[in-house]
Structure 1
Amino acid sequence: METRANYVIVGIFTLAAILAAFAFVYWTAAIGERGETTLLRVRIPGSASGLGRGSFVLFNGVKVGDVKRVYIDVDNPTVAIADTEIDRMTPITKSTQADIGLAGLTGQANIELKGADPKEVKLLDQAEKEGRVPEIVANPSAVTNLLQTAQNIFTRADKVLSELEGFTKDVRGPLTQTVKNVETFSDALAKNSDGIDKFLSAVSSLSEQLQNVSGRLDSTLKAAEGLLNSIDKDRIKSIVANVDTVTANLKETSKQFDTTLENVNTAVGSINDFAKQTQGTLAKVNGVLDGIDPADVRTALANIQKASDSANKAAADIAKVTDKIANRSDDINDT
């Protein structure tokens, strides 16, 4: 009987020890949750690709916790939420930035916290005092930005390829015609290669001649330059002044010459009138001569000859008078 009682006592003691061990472990875990770590909720706009349970939470490159759960915000499906468990001593403030980064080439994403102002209030302590879960908004995932950029590039590339395809269709005909024209031109060049060679030879000869001429022209220009340098500039100015004076005198003389010409024209008109009157007189004389005896005619002709001489003398006198008037035109104008 005494031996059985010992077994019962041992069994009860063993069960008590096991329960105490479980209680100690639970108490230790509860103390750890309340003291060393705390919950931090990270809101991630856009995609949270690569982020999952067990992903690291880093602060300035140092691990401060792990991701416990990732889910979609029911009220705003464009935002993903990551509940993390981090060290409660992590100095997270309002100026702290949260980014989603990749851990090497594994494709595993991490939450990277960086930056904090020591003068600002710590979000973890403030949330604990207010009895709420601390939250921080992460910047859009770099992976998402990369994928979006790649998508934009692919869209632009597709647009460029479509435009290039349309351009190719539009210029196919003109390009084909251009190629044909080039082929025709090349054939023509091949057929006229001899003529082209002659032309190039002629051009080469011409260039040599031009080179020789350029040498001569250079010497000529130098001689002309020396000649111009040897001329006295003051003398040239004097010659130009004399030419201006002569031109002015010719201009004044031309005015007087115009007046003389007018006087001569008047005299010539008077002589023409006199000649017309003489012709009329001669016609009448011819009519009279038809009924006159030849002897009388000879006598009359002799008289007419004398009259004609007198008329010529009178015309000469008139011309002299006209010349005198022309010569005295300046004096008349002055009066």
Structure 2
Amino acid sequence: METRAHYVMVGSFVIAVLSALIVFVLWMAKIDFGDKSELYNIYFEGSVTGLRVNEDVRYHGVPIGTVKQIKVDKKNINRVRVRVAIKDPILIRENTSASIEAQGLTGYTYIQIQGGTEDSPILKSRKGEHYPVIPSQPSRIEMLFNNAPMILANLSQLSENLNHLLNQENRTHVKGILENIHKVSGNLAEGHSSLEVTIQEFQNTLRDIRNLITQNQSGVESFTSTGLAEFISLTRETREMINSIKQIADSLNYSAGDFLHRSPQKGYKIE
């Protein structure tokens, strides 16, 4: 009788240990017998480096599933098939898309589900498919690298246009224009007795500006086409300033005496 009781105790202990071991294994495997998750396939054309099985699947940042399988597609070896389990299939609509995203600098990657509207039908598997297929799109980092060559090409074109506009010949023209404007403003401020010289200098300035604009018409158009509309605005304001100065000069040429001596009280004294 004592031996039988001993066997019962040993058997109970073994059963308890095995039960605990089974529960532990199921807990580690995260198996939920009440889980109603549905499986989906996602095909990625680019690299899936960093993505691992059991990583999160998130919907706008909220975990809604896990990655179950990562394999090269046998039907198209240039793409990777990622199978995911989604706990709430109602969130996956026909206009939903998936991408691989990274969290900070830790290297942790996950599947990001985005898009999807309530008026769009729930995604179902099509004829010939075992599981519904969620369309994929490049991640933000991948799109950045894909657009890098175009960005560099635009910067190179912009630099070339700037070099064309700021060549030595144009800098010489601009320097001459500034010198002529300085002379004109100096003559007006000092009340120079000979306005003919001032008007002649101003006409030279206008001629230089016309030549500069004519010679660089194509360069200006190419430069502004890159998005620098500020240059056009600056040119327009410069023309308006020059027209205003020309009107002042014409007025001075028409009646220099009236400008300098409007009345005995209000006239300018010339020493």
Return the TM-score normalized by structure 1.
0.41
Scaled by the length of structure 2, what TM-score is found?
Answer: 0.49
Which of the two has higher C-alpha Rg?
Answer: 1
